[in-house]
Amino acid sequence: MASHSSLLIVLAVTCFVSLISPAFSQTCSTQNVLTTQKTPFQTCLDLPALDSYLHYTYNATNSSLSVAFVATPSRPTGWIAWAINPTGSGMVGSQAFVALRSGPGEAPVLKTYNITSYSSLVEGRLAFHFWDLRAEALSGNRVVIHTSVKVPAGEDSVNQVWQIGGNVTNGRIGVHPFAPANLGSTSVLRLTGSDAPAAAPGGASTTPPGQAGGPGNAGSMTTNVNLGVSLGVLALLGSIFVL
Ligand SMILES: *[C@@H]1O[C@H](CO)[C@@H](O)[C@H](O)[C@H]1NC(C)=O
Ligand SMILES: *[C@@H]1O[C@H](CO)[C@@H](O)[C@H](O)[C@H]1NC(C)=O
Ligand SMILES: *[C@@H]1O[C@H](CO)[C@@H](O)[C@H](O)[C@H]1NC(C)=O
Ligand SMILES: *[C@@H]1O[C@H](CO)[C@@H](O)[C@H](O)[C@H]1NC(C)=O
């Protein structure tokens, strides 16, 4: 009797823990963000800073990159940004897509910024062609920036920069905080090669099959959740054996 009820308690606790853990370690693979054509993106990444996520598909045939950047503004009237820096790896030179909210609950508004210095944030044209730019509000105050950009033909990676901003005043964005995470939110986004997403089906990839992003590599970007589930199962097995 006693062992039965303690088994039930352990099972209940284990199930509860496996259910709530995604809230603490959210990963892009649970976000269900779709392209403008309502199809899944090829790959998603849990970006290494600022609780931000990138869903993307690269089409090597016409070197176009479709992305959905997910982040949570730090306050109700705040902004998020995702950028490509064609000339460097930091903020200066970034060609940025910014989604800002002018008031709590208001629909996010999109602007583009050609960032030429740390001191001036001025709207501007971008250095590359882009289309399908739109913003979307998700639950939990999260915002998604969708866009497709033309990557120079032959480039196998781009420098990406992202940010969660400060406040918004009269439609203008204020400076972002200077915490370590705000200063380290850059990375190289590989489009082709060993750690890139699998080649698009039907796309005439010029990469030899052996080098195209293998399933193992593409999969490693989204294994966090599976790992969480496996740990839950292990904990479950463990608790049964302990009893
Ligand atoms: C590339 O192809 C995609 C999918 O067919 C299309 O949406 C996009 O407009 C094309 N991009 C360019 C730069 O032609
Ligand atoms: C971005 O700003 C710099 C400096 O003002 C300028 O040289 C460059 O042409 C601008 N880019 C575009 C696409 O307008
Ligand atoms: C907005 O941000 C600026 C710069 O950080 C700050 O000086 C100002 O007080 C902020 N305004 C509000 C309303 O939070
Ligand atoms: C990639 O772009 C080409 C040219 O627009 C298009 O024919 C092809 O369908 C696209 N591939 C995917 C997977 O969208």
Which tens digits make up the pLDDT trace of 72-115?
998 888 999 999 999 998 889 999 999 999 888 889 999 999 99
Residue 163, amino acid: Q
Q: Locate tokens 């939110």: which residue? A: 185
Mutation test of ligand 3: which of 167, 172, 173, 175 has the most ligand atoms closer than 8 Å to its C-beta?
167
> How far does CA 96 lie from the centroid of its chain?
15
Mutation test of ligand 2: which of 91, 113, 116, 150 has the most ligand atoms closer than 8 Å to its C-beta?
116
Q: Which CATH number fits domain 34-218: 3.40.50, 1.10.357, 2.40.50, 2.60.40?
A: 2.60.40
Expressed in angstroms, the distance from the first to the final Cα of the chain is 13
Give the pLDDT score at 36. 87
Euclidean distance between CA atoms 202 and 233, whole angstroms: 38
Domain boundaries, the chain: 1-29+224-243, 34-218
pLDDT tens digits for range 157-196? 999 999 998 889 888 888 888 889 898 899 999 998 655 5
| CA 59 to centroid of ligand 1, rounded, Å | 8
> What dihedral do alpha carbons 97, 103, 106, 108 form, nearest 10°?
0
Euclidean distance between CA atoms 204 and 212, whole angstroms: 12
What predicted TM-score, i.e. pTM, was given to this entire model? 0.73
In this prediction, residue 49 has a pLDDT band, given cuts at 50, 70 and 90, of: very high
Mean pLDDT of the chain: 76
Give the bridge partners for 120, in sequence order. none
Q: Are 205 and 66 in contact (CB under 8 A)?
A: no
